[in-house]
Chains A and B, each alone.
Chain A
Amino acid sequence: MKIYGLIYTTVSSDKSPWKRSGFQTVSYSQELMRESDVLEIEKRIHFPGSGIINYKETVFYYEFKGEVYLIILQIRDLPEETDEFGRGGVFLCQGFIFPPGLWRLFPSPLALLELVKDHTFENRDQVFSSPLIDRKTGNFRPIEVSNDKIKDIPSLLPSLKSKFEWKLALLINKLASSGGEKPTLLFRGEPGRVSTLLDKLIAYVPEALKVNIGWDSAFDNGNLTFFPLKITGFSKNRPIGGKPIYIDIETQSIDEPSEIKEAFTPQTPYERWLYECRHEKIDKTEIEGAYELSVFLTEGKKSSPEKVLRKKSCFVSVNRDLIEEAFFDRCGKLLGSELSRYVADALSTDTKLDLLIEALPPEKLTNTLEKVILENRLTPEVLKTSLPETIRASAGDKLRLILKAWDGKPLSIQDIEKLEEEEKRDLIVYFLLSGWAEKPWMIDLLKNNEKLFNEMFAFPEVRAVIEKIIQKVISEDREFKEIAPLLAREAISQGVTYEIFTQRISPLQVIENFLKDYPWSEVDMKTLFSWAKKRKPPEKVFPYIRAFFYPREGISKNILRDERIRGRLLECLLTYHQYKPEELERLGFKKEEILRKKELIEEKSLLAKVKKKFKKLFDFRKEV
């Protein structure tokens, strides 16, 4: 690789290739630089005056032929030398120009000087006797660097030891992010210390940004307003202009003007990572990776997992809000804002970042989509948008079936057969609870799968839906429509839900079992009595129905002997059928038994009346 160079100093016209006297660029690498480049570089050469410094460095980046090179100017005071008029103030500026392939390997620029130390001039005589300089043409012959010289480059960044240094790292990142415009930084300290510190700090600026900045370690007596570099140092005579943030290296203090307080607050994801994760060991790759990630998040630039930071946990922890925002924004564009809100809730921030980096791959999103649709019972009505074709194309079995239903197509047994048992159950629960419960295909699916049907009862939410479906099925027979809710409820409590659902048993059987084996309430009895009144008695296979609702058709002796329901039957005969005591006695009920029941019925009635009065009174008082 080639390192280019230039020399700026004062010479008499006979020593100048351009036959001019005075300060000028007497030599520069002509295969790289044009005269206009030389003029631009000269603008960055500031000599503070003889006796103020012995040596200083000016470091900046400059574009030649579309590529950004690093330029390090070494400026030496030559107090013993004079110009052709016998005056002092002579200095030598030697510039080294490092190609991107070289400087990008090094975290800190000044380490590159090691590569050119054998070609560094201490005075003007050395310049003009060097084979690097063609005195006739003014060409600076490039220095060739072999790969051997650049093999042991340290990967870890120079360590920043204090909060002061970290604050400064943040500050120069801010400056670099602004394109090198704001804020201007002015360091007070010896040129060597200023340069060493800035060399360390710039290692913490990503490559893409560091090209925006540069520094002059001794800008004593200068005017910052007109100087292209916004980071300068001084040791004796403070420069004017530039409205800089003043930093004293000796006292480690920073003069923080109130109007630029934000300059000290980490704002971009990269800055937050840099500042908050500073206790982790950071190398150059991580700096670049974190910056890549930061730009990716804030500007939406495409990236890839290989380019971004590998150890992301700290980055995620300090940028959670931005990751969430970016995910919601970009996922929203793909899936619609409603669905992406659910997807976002279902994923961890780390996963979201990974998905974002991979540009939200459909094949990785579909699993989550299935999950959120099923868990949140999402429907096209809720989401108000359809899923994009890329997602549909990558959908797994479950999501495909969901989308089929969303498209209004019926699902068949064959469709769900392919699914695992658990998947089937999840899917059916979803359909039952999301508005598909009463679809004929849904009822068919349940009718044809008893195991699945029974499993539904494990879910309390589903029970209510099933009850409704059963009511619907029962209601299809007009004869039972009136008492369908009661029948459905009773079928569930009797454990014959599937049987009644598939019509394997008659609703009359449910009523028969109800009368025979289950406790009933006054209300249930009234409902059934009202229903029964409108119908003829059933066949004799339902003796309890006949006994309770049609007793005058004859009551089976077995029922009269059944001690469990004898009391209830007596009460029914007295209450609903107005049996007289002698009729009851003829059926085998004893006088005392009848009397006691009557009293009980009267007590019940009285209690009901009192309750009613109290309720009225209570309601009245409430109104008052």
Chain B
Amino acid sequence: MINIRCPYCLKEISLNEAQTYKCSNPDCGEYIPRDFVEKREIPRATVGLIGFRGHGKTTYITSLFYLLKFFKTKWEGYYFLTLDDHTGNIIYEHVPQFEEKSSLPDGTPANFPRPALIRFYKVPYFKDYFLSVYDTGGEVFTRTEQIMDQGRFVAHSDTVLFIFSINDLGERWSDNIEKLLDIYIRAVYDKMRVDLKKRQHLIIVLTKADTLKNTTPEKQLSEELINYLDTGTYLEYLLIDDKYINKKLKYYSRIIKNWLKEKGCHGFISAAEDNFKSVEYTIVSSTGAAPVGKKLAKKLEPQDPKRVLDPFLWILEKNRPKKLLEKLFGGR
């Protein structure tokens, strides 16, 4: 028997090895991809996207998939396979629409999400990996009741991407992100009784970071961060190694954290670090420039998205099985 959490209904189930893998939850009964069940040695990450509506959750994930597709031509031996039709639709219909028609993904309705299930082969430094990503409408995260219902998948995620666009949060943006985190912790820790400190990594993703390059002083990125953002094209990821992960990513996570502190987000940072297993900070620009209406400013090119792989690499790093020494001395 194989014990596993069904990615579709999130129930812990036992599957018989001799049979087709069909979820034993009578309310679900979905077929679970064979490799997802059998290849237990391959590390896996379950990721939930949290964030306000319109702050770029879907755009980020679409841009990430766009780049991950692109890297098939760059990383030696790397490719990925979608594990179900729904994920196939995202990768082979939504992403091309984003790329070729230059149109922004539609707003995501606040439905209970279906996961995007992907198996990655030979990602540099990380090798094979399973990724399940859950994305739903941002409205879900404005009320504890809705998080407990449509947003319950976040409770079962190993990692959550806390996505927000500072320029879309108004004057009191630091209060607003603190409020979002507050609602989330209340729903998941208090009401759903999930021990976030033990179970969940938090990755802060500041989206639409290109809009923070020339903005009001209270939101303006530092020169160092602007430089970091601008240099974060796909070229930055051609070589992913220990140095990039353990030095550069970590360094800039600290820089972003400090920048947020400077901008008055002490409360937010403290709450995040006290309540989660680990917290990392990233900045991204999913499209490189602000869109014009429904369309991107220009046809998307691989060099346009900036630092889009940083959160992805953090996800892989956080959920990578660690050796004992690494566990003891290598950080969280």
Q: Are A39 and B145 in contact (CB under 8 A)?
A: yes
Partner of B30, one of A85, A184, A241: A241
Q: Are A46 and B27 in contact (CB under 8 A)?
A: no
Q: In the assembly, what is the distance between CA of A481 and CA of B142, in Å?
A: 109
Contact residues of B between 39 and 56, Cβ < 8 Å to A: 52-54
Q: Are B27 and A225 in contact (CB under 8 A)?
A: yes
**From A47, which residue of chain B is reached at the shortest CB distance?**
B109
Contact residues of B between 183 and 214, Cβ < 8 Å to A: none
Q: Are A222 and B111 in contact (CB under 8 A)?
A: yes
Interface string of B82-121 (1 = CB under 8 A from A): 0001100100000000000001111111111110000000
Q: Are B29 and A242 in contact (CB under 8 A)?
A: yes
Q: Are A50 and B106 in contact (CB under 8 A)?
A: yes
Q: Chain A residues with Cβ under 8 A from B111's Cβ?
A: 46-47, 221-223
A237-B26 contact, Cβ under 8 Å, with A46-B111, A83-B54: no
Q: Chain B residues with Cβ under 8 A from A22's Cβ?
A: 52-54, 107, 137-139
Q: In the assembly, what is the distance between CA of A237 and CA of B111, in Å?
A: 15
Interface string of B50-69 (1 = CB under 8 A from A): 00111000000000000000
Q: In the assembly, what is the distance between CA of A82 and CA of B291, in Å?
A: 13
Q: Does B240 contact A (CB under 8 A)?
A: no
Q: Does A161 contact B (CB under 8 A)?
A: no
Q: In the assembly, what is the distance between CA of A21 and CA of B138, in Å?
A: 10
Q: Are B107 and A221 in contact (CB under 8 A)?
A: no
Q: Are A83 and B8 in contact (CB under 8 A)?
A: no
Q: Does B28 contact A (CB under 8 A)?
A: yes
Chain A interfacial residues counted at CB < 8 A? 37
Q: Does B269 contact A (CB under 8 A)?
A: no
By size class, the interface of chain B is: 35 or more
Q: Are B27 and A241 in contact (CB under 8 A)?
A: yes
Q: Are A237 and B86 in contact (CB under 8 A)?
A: yes
Q: Are A39 and B143 in contact (CB under 8 A)?
A: yes
Q: In the assembly, what is the distance between CA of A86 and CA of B112, in Å?
A: 23
Q: Chain B residues with Cβ under 8 A from A241's Cβ?
A: 8-9, 27-30
| B30, B138, B146, most chain A CB atoms within 10 A | B30
Q: Chain A nearest CB: distance from B95 CB in Å?
A: 15
A43-B149 contact, Cβ under 8 Å, with A85-B54, A89-B109, A223-B111: yes
A225-B25 contact, Cβ under 8 Å, with A23-B109, A87-B294, A241-B30: yes
Q: Does A606 contact B (CB under 8 A)?
A: no
Partner of A225, one of B9, B105, B150: B9
Interface string of A453-473 (1 = CB under 8 A from B): 000000000000000000000
Q: Are B107 and A89 in contact (CB under 8 A)?
A: yes
Contact residues of B between 1 and 36, Cβ < 8 Å to A: 8-9, 25-30
Q: Chain A nearest CB: distance from B207 CB in Å?
A: 12
A240-B109 contact, Cβ under 8 Å, with A43-B149, A225-B27: no
Contact residues of A between 218 and 264, Cβ < 8 Å to B: 221-227, 237-238, 240-243
Q: Are B27 and A243 in contact (CB under 8 A)?
A: yes
Q: Are A243 and B149 in contact (CB under 8 A)?
A: no
| A46, A50, A86, A222, most chain B CB atoms within 10 A | A86
Contact residues of B between 236 and 294, Cβ < 8 Å to A: 291-294
Q: Chain B residues with Cβ under 8 A from A85's Cβ?
A: 54, 104, 107, 168
Q: Chain A residues with Cβ under 8 A from B145's Cβ?
A: 39
Q: Chain B nearest CB: distance from A90 CB in Å?
A: 7
Q: Chain B residues with Cβ under 8 A from A243's Cβ?
A: 26-29
Q: Does A336 contact B (CB under 8 A)?
A: no
Interface string of A480-517 (1 = CB under 8 A from B): 00000000000000000000000000000000000000
Partner of B112, one of A39, A87, A223, A238: A223
Q: Chain B residues with Cβ under 8 A from A224's Cβ?
A: 27
Q: Are A240 and B30 in contact (CB under 8 A)?
A: yes
A221-B86 contact, Cβ under 8 Å, with A49-B109, A83-B107, A240-B30: yes
**From B55, which residue of chain A is reached at the shortest CB distance?**
A85
Q: Does A10 contact B (CB under 8 A)?
A: yes
Q: Chain A residues with Cβ under 8 A from B114's Cβ?
A: 221-223, 240
Q: Chain A nearest CB: distance from B253 CB in Å?
A: 27
Q: Chain A residues with Cβ under 8 A from B53's Cβ?
A: 10, 21-23, 83
| B29, B105, B137, B168, most chain A CB atoms within 10 A | B29
Q: Chain B residues with Cβ under 8 A from A39's Cβ?
A: 143, 145-146
Q: Are B86 and A23 in contact (CB under 8 A)?
A: no
Q: In the assembly, what is the distance between CA of A85 and CA of B290, in Å?
A: 10
Q: Are B294 and A242 in contact (CB under 8 A)?
A: no
Q: Are B28 and A242 in contact (CB under 8 A)?
A: yes
Q: Chain A nearest CB: distance from B85 CB in Å?
A: 8
A237-B109 contact, Cβ under 8 Å, with A39-B143, A86-B293: no
Partner of B27, one of A23, A84, A242: A242
Q: Are A89 and B112 in contact (CB under 8 A)?
A: no
Q: Chain A nearest CB: distance from B307 CB in Å?
A: 21
**From B59, which residue of chain A is reached at the shortest CB distance?**
A87
User: What are 11 pairs between A and B in contact, CB < 8 Å?
Assistant: A22-B137, A23-B107, A83-B54, A89-B105, A89-B109, A90-B107, A91-B109, A226-B9, A226-B152, A240-B86, A241-B28
Closest 9 CB pairs of A and B: A89-B106, A243-B29, A22-B53, A85-B54, A89-B107, A47-B109, A226-B112, A88-B106, A225-B9
**10 more A-B residue pairs beyond the given contacts A88-B294, A223-B9, A224-B27, with a C-beta to C-beta distance below 8 A:** A43-B150, A47-B109, A49-B109, A184-B27, A221-B111, A222-B111, A226-B152, A237-B89, A241-B8, A243-B29
Residues of A whose CB lies within 8 Å of any CB of B are 10, 20-24, 39, 42-43, 46-47, 49-50, 82-91, 184, 221-227, 237-238, 240-243
